[in-house]
Chains A and B, each alone.
Chain A
Amino acid sequence: MADATPATTDTAVAIAEAVRSGERSAREVLDTHLAAIDAREGEIHAFNLVLADEARAAADEIDRRVAAGEDPGPLAGVPVALKDNLCTRGVATTCSSKILEGWEPPYDATVVRRLADAGAVVVGKANLDEFAMGSSTENSAFGPTRNPRDTTKVPGGSSGGSTAAVAAGFAAVGLGSDTGGSIRQPAALCGVVGMKPTYGRVSRYGLVAFASSLDQIGPLTHTVADTARVLEVIGGHDPADTTSIPEAMPALESVLGDGVAGLRVGVVRELMGEGIAPDVAARVREAAEVLAAAGAEVGEASVPAVTYGLSAYYLIAPAEASSNLSRYDGVRYGLRVDAPTTPEMNLASRTAGFGAEVKRRIMLGTYALSAGYYDAYYGKAQKVRTLIIRDFAAAYESFDLLLAPTSPTTAFPLGAKVSDPLTMYLNDICTIPSNLAGQPAVSVPFGAGDDGLPVGVQLLAPALAEAPLLRAAAVLEEGAPS
């Protein structure tokens, strides 16, 4: 199978094993991916920064270690695209915002260190919606990313650059961050695997904060096995993140073949009706049949409160963002617009540095937290969050996993939703509930829509249940329409 596919869709597992055994050099693998970047990056714009020289040096070092008889690690020579909200020491980290243009962090994110320690090679910093606020990667100060499957369409967002990089063969692995669906939705729209782990599974140290109680880093890959391998590398406790879960990462890659016999899987009734395109819903029902044929007990689940997820999310996430983004004041890093006094300098710097969507969310969050509105908006949203968690808990008494669409539609045209924020936000209805509950979920490519573009189906699990989640994802991958 691997022989028939072009080099740039080689999986991370295949690359790492070939590099470890000396069958391929990390440098040759990298050069193949850099050639793909040369050929199509002008059209796709997956990256804010391509690190060709640094990547070549890193790949040569991997090859030197292999030649010396060392094992560079489980991601030896695997080219990786990092979402440009992950801090890289001495390398520009912009969050696709003018307010951080040119900023070079004084430290690496924990995930960046762990990838390097596992032998991965960073090829570039990938485009995103500014500060990860968006569902199309059109809210970037440096211009939109296009969907490699159809360049008239958006790649989804906000991790659209990392996702497009994988889909276009620029990198074998992308790292994204998912606050309301920002890994899973672009994965669905670009036809790759995208996973949001349990909140706290992966250290957020060095992830520039958007909404701290929702943000979680995760992989974008060609295959479920690659996702399992990357998650084993980047996951696990980190003392630098106080919200990091103390429990060790379970084995994931080695259990992928265990199947779903006896697992109870519920299709989420509330996410299969209004607002979901019929072709997407049809793929989800077919995915349920694939799981049933593999021995799962498939039924219909009800999680009534998920229908309030969007409302709760678009109060909670902006509220947290308005607080987190108050740090951009022109004092310690990033853009400063000179003015006679510090308050005027703060105002001028923030006004010039933030784009429209970021301003909109800061305003929404500031309003939701402001005197007289806190109880009605933010306080109520936090209570709704509790209801969603309770309804998931009730559903997981009858089911081990849940199944739903990832995105309500396939990829939409560039520009189609930019002028109407609410319509854009509706992209996230199926993904937001997992963030509010802090639970893991994965999007797996499963056939195409009526327009021929990729459809992703989403599996959801209780906190810490990544292993059964990925076992079921592997079954869907195997049974997906070709």
Chain B
Amino acid sequence: MPQKITRDDVAHVADLARLALSDDELEQFTGQLAAVLDHAADVEALDVADVPPTSHPVPLENVLRDDVVTPSLDRAEVLAQAPAVEDDRFRVPPSLGQEP
């Protein structure tokens, strides 16, 4: 198993997940995530080198449907739920030229 999760790791992960954490939250989450990951270390003893991973419990492949037109969601109804709309599109603040 990798090294114990650090406060810096948690800050980095929060950044990846687009979450802003306070110092208190950082502290608390570091301890709580470490406890869960410690518990998960019990799988370390298992030899699974030759075991294939399971990503999905039901083996379904190539699920296709007939290529026919069916009703889709009503545009006005969908846009009515958006925080901001302009010209039938979702409106957002500027994003180009900014650091993420």
Contacts and interface: CB of A to CB of B under 8 A. Distances in A.
Contacts of B29: 359-360, 363
Interface residues of B, number: 54
Given A342-B92, A343-B95, A372-B2, A311 B57 contact: no
A314 B9 CA distance: 18
A161 to B, nearest CB: 23
A93 to B, nearest CB: 11
B20 interface: yes
Interface in B79-100: 81-84, 90, 92-95, 98-100
Interface string A430-454: 0000001111000000000000000
A213 B57 contact: yes
B69 interface: no
B84 A336 contact: yes
Given A347-B19, A363-B19, A363-B29, A386 B51 contact: yes
Interface of B: 1-2, 5, 9-10, 13-14, 16-21, 25, 29, 32-33, 35-37, 39-43, 46, 48, 51-58, 60, 63, 65, 73-74, 77-78, 81-84, 90, 92-95, 98-100
A377 B40 contact: yes
Contacts of B99: 343
B35 A315 contact: no
Interface string A384-425: 111101000000000000000000000000000000011001
A380 B43 contact: yes
Nearest to A435: B57
A314 B40 contact: yes
Nearest to B10: A363
Contact of B93 (A314, A345, A425): A345
Given A350-B18, A351-B20, A384-B48, A243 B53 contact: no
A230 B36 CA distance: 37
A343 B98 contact: yes
Contact of A383 (B19, B52, B83): B52
B93 A367 contact: no
Interface stretch (A62-70, A101-109, A112-120, A292-300): A101-109
Nearest to A388: B54
Contacts of A360: 29, 32-33
Contacts of B9: 367
A383 B2 contact: no
18 contacts: A200-B60, A213-B57, A314-B40, A315-B40, A322-B17, A330-B83, A331-B92, A333-B82, A343-B18, A348-B20, A363-B33, A366-B13, A376-B2, A380-B46, A386-B48, A386-B53, A422-B32, A463-B57
A83 B53 CA distance: 32
A167 interface: no
A310 B40 CA distance: 8
Nearest to A390: B51
B13 A422 contact: no
A383 B92 contact: no
Contacts of A387: 46, 48, 51
A330 B29 CA distance: 24
Contacts of B81: 103-106, 332-333
Given A314-B40, A359-B19, A363-B19, A370 B13 contact: yes
A251 interface: no
Interface of A: 103-107, 199-200, 213, 239, 242-243, 245, 307-308, 310-312, 314-315, 322, 326, 329-336, 338-348, 350-351, 354, 356, 359-360, 362-364, 366-367, 370, 372-373, 376-377, 379-387, 389, 421-422, 425, 436-439, 463
A339 B93 contact: yes
Given A243-B60, A343-B99, A359-B19, 12 more contacts: A314-B36, A315-B40, A343-B18, A359-B21, A363-B19, A367-B13, A376-B2, A377-B37, A383-B53, A387-B48, A421-B32, A436-B54
Contacts of A367: 5, 9, 13, 33
Contacts of A351: 19-20
Given A315-B40, A363-B14, A243 B58 contact: yes
A341 B43 contact: no
Contacts of B19: 347, 350-351, 354, 359, 362-363
Contacts of A356: 25
A340 B13 CA distance: 23
